[in-house]
């Protein structure tokens, strides 16, 4: 999972989603 998140963050630029980073959004989604 962390590997996927790192890949996602590398490919996609960080965008603000309600003040959360893509990593935090995915972490909350998959947790």
The mean pLDDT values, 10 residues at a time, for the chain of 31 residues are: 64 54 68 60
Please, are residues 8 and 30 in contact by the beta-carbon 8 Å criterion?
no
Helices (H) and strands (E) in the chain, counts: 2, 0
Question: Rounded to a whole number, what is the largest CA-CA distance in the chain?
Answer: 24
Give residue 10's pLDDT.
60
**CB under 8 Å, gap of 24 or more: what pairs does 7-16 form?**
none
Query: How far apart are alpha carbons 25 and 17 in whole angstroms?
Result: 8
């Amino acid at each position: 999972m962390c590997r996927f998140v790192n890949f996602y963050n590398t490919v996609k630029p960080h965008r603000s989603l309600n003040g959360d980073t893509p990593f935090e959004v995915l972490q909350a989604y998959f947790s």
